[in-house]
Amino acid sequence: MKIVVASQPVDFRKGINSLAALVSQALNANPYCGDVFIFRSKRMDRLKLLAWDGTGMVLMTKWLEESRFIWPPIRDGAVHLSATQMAMLVDGLDWTRAPPNVVKQPTGVM
């Protein structure tokens, strides 16, 4: 499972169908692949999380009451997060302090 953050803010009136279309068009990904897609608002205190769980599409919205989320710089495309980084982002913590998991490849052939 991949966790993808859309770098560009989105109109937060968008629902499941519109966000799924954004995943297909702007991120060139399949919204039904089981990955998690996170969208940011212009106000930086809101996020929407979109995921297909195998039986239906899930849309979660979170608003922070007294602070703002830490977001990657605004540019075209997306940023990939680890599960730990996503948990920190959703909790409103500085996810950039958690290094991404490095997947090591084997060094020798058996």
Q: pTM for the full model?
A: 0.87
- 11 falls within a domain: yes
Kindly report, residue by residue over 63-92, the tens digit of the pLDDT: 999 999 999 888 888 999 999 999 999 999
Domain that holds residue 46: 3-97
Kindly report, residue by residue over 21-72, the tens digit of the pLDDT: 999 999 999 999 999 999 999 999 999 999 999 999 999 999 999 999 999 8
Residue 110: band (very low, low, confident or very high) from pLDDT cuts 50, 70, 90:
low
- 107 falls within a domain: no
- CB-based contact 49:83 (threshold 8 Å): no
- 70 falls within a domain: yes
- 102 falls within a domain: no
| Alpha carbon distances (Å) from 10 to 47, 72, 98 | 10, 14, 25
